[in-house]
Amino acid sequence: MGLMTGKQYRESLNDGREVYIDGEKVKNVADHPAFKPIVDVKARMYDMAFEKELADKLTTTLPDGEVVSRAYKAPESKEDLAAIRKHVETVLDDLGGIVYRVGDETIGEMWSLYDAQDRLNQIDPTYAENIRYHVDRVAREDLFHVSANTDPKGDRSKLFSGKDGGTLLHVVEENDKGIVVKGAKFETAAAYAHQAFVKPTILDWNAGSEKMAPFACGFICDMGSPGLKHICRSPLGLGQNPEDYPVSTKFDEIDTLLIFDNVLIPWENVLFHRSLESAAYIRSTVHRYSAYNYTLRMLRRADYLIGIALLNVEQTGLNQLQAVKEKISQLINYREGINAHLTAAVTEAERSPGGLMMPNQSLLYTGRMFALRNFPAMAHLTRELVGGQLAVTPDTATMADPEIKQYFDQYYAVGEWTPEDRGKLLYFARDLLNSSFAGHLTTFELFAQSPPFAQYAAVFNNFDMEPQRELVRRAAGLKKKEPVVSI
Ligand SMILES: Cc1cc2nc3c(=O)[nH]c(=O)nc-3n(C[C@H](O)[C@H](O)[C@H](O)COP(=O)(O)OP(=O)(O)OC[C@H]3O[C@@H](n4cnc5c(N)ncnc54)[C@H](O)[C@@H]3O)c2cc1C
């Protein structure tokens, strides 16, 4: 198959998928105004790989000569991890904005399961074969692959029982073609993607009972499967002037409540089934690779914060003030803190159980947490540096009104900055910091790679604590003792 073009991608979405948005059933996702901007972004990403000056950064060649996206080749060396970073940076540079769930940030979840092949082999060798097949297939067919982990959970006492056999997604039937599943998942980008890795992530599967078995399944689901319903949230940029809302009119990644109404998953797409052990494994390793691509986006967001703050204070000369320089320094510290974690995670990368090269897990998860936890303070600081004009500046149509234009020339022009250019900078800043879209993005980042408590759990579980214990034992003259486990 090889690399897909933007045109092929757009056409591939017209597969009869059932998509609903704003009270309407969508005929063709690629042409619908709510989806078109982000479909165009993804199509541009596909086309970029064919451009001579970008191809070496965005593609690589498999041993048999097949050219595939750089983002879709599982990392086997530190150089591969560095190339993945280059891929993300090249794409974001070209797009002039940030997109998260566009394939590269979710593909790593399959590599996490690929790492468990030995375990899958013990359960059923077909599952290990299936995961190898899908890791290879997604690259060779250049599929837009996303992730479905979170069920809308509601009442926690009804997860495994009650109406329809429980609220969590589960298998309701097995037949010679495959498994039939029922349930729901939240999933960004599902409506304009090709396939998703669907899996459970909540609960302590290690302490599970047999009644949890139908819920312990993981599979690849085609986004056009019969019975699958995409119920999407309203778009945030639709109807706005792109000059006034330059980010939300282009980069709104629509989220979906995905309903699995008795969806047949063919056996070749089943990655595990009735396996509590596999559910536990994927829950604890799901972001082993993808947290890298995700945190790279947070780094880019930090770059935008610095750029916005700098350009705003430089217009007016406020950048000369020591107090303002200190605030810019805090933004730089934040940016370089994320950068340091990502750089060190590659330098100190580790061989995975499946033989791949994974970013150093402790440095990666602490970097993700550092980026996530400090973002609100950094956004606040940037808002403070931009000043109240972020919120009160009239839009482009008003600025251009001939009757009042003179007032903008009088009160908005500063040095070489025309009112129009100051407006452009402020509209960009507003869409990243103050619009409905900005609020949505903050919530997305808070939850999209699991909620903060789960991210802290990843930090806790991936840090080797024994050296610290041993240091204190030796310094204080203590003997090794078993921890109390009764809480
Ligand atoms: C914009 C957006 C996009 C998303 N995209 C995707 C996607 O593409 N794929 C996907 O699978 N999911 C996606 N999600 C879902 C996301 O992963 C979940 O929102 C997240 O995992 C939290 O689950 P929940 O919303 O059900 O909250 P709940 O599980 O109800 O938790 C709410 C809060 O309760 C507290 N809490 C709950 N349980 C515990 C506990 N055990 N210990 C301590 N505190 C606890 C925490 O404060 C937690 O934040 C998306 C969410 C958003 C907001």
What is the distance in A from the centroid of ligand 1 to the CA of 184? 14
Burial per residue of 218-253, b for 16 or more beta-carbon CB atoms within 10 angstroms, e otherwise: bbbbbbbbeebbbbbbebbbbebeeebbbbbbbbbb
Burial per residue of 469-481, b for 16 or more beta-carbon CB atoms within 10 angstroms, e otherwise: eeeeeeeeeeeee
Report, as ranges of residue numbers, the positions in the chain whose pLDDT lies below 50: none
∠ CA 233-92-41, rounded to 5°: 45
Residues 131/133/139/140 CA torsion (nearest 10 deg): -170
Ligand 1 atom 41: the closest Cα is on which residue? 453
Residue 443 Cβ inside 6 Å of ligand 1? The answer reads yes
Q: Which domains does the chain have, with CATH numbers?
A: 6-285 (2.40.110.10), 290-468 (1.20.140.10)
Residue 451 Cβ inside 6 Å of ligand 1? The answer reads yes
Residue 446 Cβ inside 6 Å of ligand 1? The answer reads no
∠ CA 150-152-158, rounded to 5°: 115
Scan for tokens 């006492």, then name that residue.
157
Identify which of 124, 258, 126 has the alpha carbon closest to the alpha carbon of residue 197.
Answer: 258
pLDDT for res 486: 62
Ligand 1 atom 38: the closest Cα is on which residue? 453
Atom in ligand 1 nearest the alpha carbon of residue 443 = 53
Ligand 1 atom 49: the closest Cα is on which residue? 451
Ligand 1 atom 40: the closest Cα is on which residue? 453
Task: Check: CB of residue 263 under 8 Å from CB of residue 180.
Answer: yes
Residue 156 Cβ inside 6 Å of ligand 1? The answer reads no
Which of 151, 168, 447, 456 should be mutated for ligand 1, with most atoms under 8 A from CB?
447
> Exposed/middle/buried for 446, CB within 10 Å: 0-12, 13-18, 19+?
middle
Ligand 1 atom 36: the closest Cα is on which residue? 453
Residue 105 Cβ inside 6 Å of ligand 1? The answer reads no
What is the distance in A from the centroid of ligand 1 to the CA of 451? 5
pLDDT for res 487: 56
| Count of beta carbons in the 10 Å neighbourhood of residue 353 | 16
Ligand 1 atom 1: the closest Cα is on which residue? 444
Ligand 1 atom 32: the closest Cα is on which residue? 451
Calpha distance 68→446 (Å, rounded): 32
Strand-pair category, 228-232 with 18-21: parallel
Structure tokens at 12: 């591939």
Task: Check: CB of residue 364 under 8 Å from CB of residue 81.
Answer: no
Task: Check: CB of residue 144 under 8 Å from CB of residue 5.
Answer: no
Residue 149 Cβ inside 6 Å of ligand 1? The answer reads yes
Strand-pair category, 145-148 with 195-198: parallel
**pLDDT, tens digit (0-9, with 9 covering 90-100), for 221-268:** 999 999 999 999 999 999 999 999 999 999 999 999 999 999 999 999
pTM for the model: 0.96
Calpha distance 64→156 (Å, rounded): 49
Scan for tokens 């605030």, then name that residue.
327
